[in-house]
């Protein structure tokens, strides 16, 4: 392996998230195809022993080398995936094994750059590699990361963040965006866009794009709330007032407000606005619709209302948002 130009070592441990492990190698493998056989990267999975590692999905993965073996090589990129548990309240918690943290510290000293995938940021933070740095992680564990590591500036919004030679990525499929960014740094934008096309990704999202999505924010809810959320998403052009939503659900307005507060932690009006905003963001990213049309289709009464919501919620305008995130993949 010493002859390989870019050795990528992915850390393996029991109950690791499977997609965190398999996503980046897919990107690197497609790069090899796009570069007509140039190796580009050599990916190696490292674990404490060479015994199979069982991932959180129940799929067993075979390590290529032990941590001790990996420490003998010059590592180009150390990739650190994560693992979570869900408690009886369905709250997600990142898991941090001190033994894995110790190995990450060891391998970090042999690595040109380090990147965490999803909640792997918790392991980097525990290893002291994020102190004084801005970092991201999956939105569901961002508060935990901030509470456990006050020396880290946690920003739960971007899909990935680069701070010098340390990168942190957001949740799950954002590992593809992070990997594409690494490819872009190493081999150029054209190569990264070619891989994105092979992955059938509409665009290679820049690091500043938000990982937040309203439908993903809420977690598990009751059947009545699930039905309400579906009704809202399918009827954005209707008024969707508290009175209308209460009538649709055959409950009183006070009961409706209590449901939203208890299950979603927000008010009906704020939730409806969030869903409309998410729909508008999607149309701005994926269509050439005028602002008038976007506003109308997403339930905003006027373009001025759309602009005000964007300024208040995202600190930008719809036009600025489109200019930043509306990308066309062309080679």
CA distances to 22, 65, 67, 71, 81 from 48, in Å: 19, 8, 6, 12, 15
Q: Are 80 and 102 in contact (CB under 8 A)?
A: no
Q: Token pair for residue 45?
A: 């999975």
On whether the CB atoms of residues 99 and 19 are closer than 8 A, the answer is no
Specify whether the CB–CB gap between 76 and 110 falls below 8 A: no
Of 9, 12, 118, 246, which one is the catalytic site residue? 118
For the chain, the residue count is 331
Which tokens is 227 given?
């039905």
Asked whether the beta carbons of 119 and 133 are under 8 A apart, the reply is: no
CB 1 within 8 A of CB 7: yes
Q: What is the Cα–Cα distance from 21 to 45, expressed in whole angstroms?
A: 9
- Asked if residues 229 and 218 have their Cβ atoms less than 8 Å apart, the reply is yes
Tell me if residue 175 is catalytic: no
Locus of tokens 């980097």:
124
Task: Name the E strands within the chain.
Answer: 7-11, 42-47, 53-54, 60-61, 65-66, 75-80, 84-86, 92-94, 111-116, 134-135, 153-154, 160-163, 166-169
Q: Which residues are catalytic?
A: 118
């Amino acid at each position: 392996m010493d002859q390989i130009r870019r050795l990528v070592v992915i850390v393996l441990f029991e109950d690791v998230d499977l997609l965190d492990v398999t996503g980046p190698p897919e990107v690197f493998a497609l790069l090899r195809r796009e570069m007509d056989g140039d190796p580009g990267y050599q990916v190696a999975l490292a674990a404490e022993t060479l015994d199979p590692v069982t991932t959180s999905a129940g799929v067993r993965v075979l390590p290529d080398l032990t941590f001790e073996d990996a420490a003998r090589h010059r590592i180009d990129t150390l990739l650190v995936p994560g693992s979570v548990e869900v408690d009886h309240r369905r709250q997600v918690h990142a898991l941090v094994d001190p033994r894995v943290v110790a190995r990450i510290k060891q391998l970090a000293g042999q690595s040109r750059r380090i990147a965490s995938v999803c909640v792997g940021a918790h392991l980097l933070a525990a290893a002291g590699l994020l102190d004084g740095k801005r970092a991201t992680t999956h939105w569901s564990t961002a508060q935990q990361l901030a509470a456990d590591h006050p020396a880290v500036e946690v920003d739960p919004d971007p899909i990935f963040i680069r701070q010098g030679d340390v990168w942190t990525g957001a949740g799950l499929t954002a590992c593809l965006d992070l990997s594409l960014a690494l490819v872009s740094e190493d081999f150029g934008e054209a190569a990264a866009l070619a891989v994105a096309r092979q992955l059938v990704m509409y665009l290679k999202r820049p690091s500043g794009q938000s990982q937040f999505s309203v439908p993903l924010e809420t977690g598990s809810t009751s059947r009545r709330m699930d039905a309400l959320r579906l009704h809202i998403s399918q009827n954005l052009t209707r008024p969707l007032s508290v009175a209308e939503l209460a009538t649709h659900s055959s409950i009183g307005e006070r009961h409706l407000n209590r449901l939203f507060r208890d299950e979603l932690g927000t008010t009906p009006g704020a939730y409806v606005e969030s869903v409309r905003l998410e729909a508008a963001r999607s149309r701005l990213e994926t269509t050439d619709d005028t602002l008038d049309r976007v506003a109308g289709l997403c339930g905003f009464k006027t373009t001025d209302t759309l602009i005000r919501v964007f300024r208040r919620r995202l600190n930008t305008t719809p036009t600025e948002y489109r200019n930043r995130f509306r990308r066309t993949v062309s080679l």
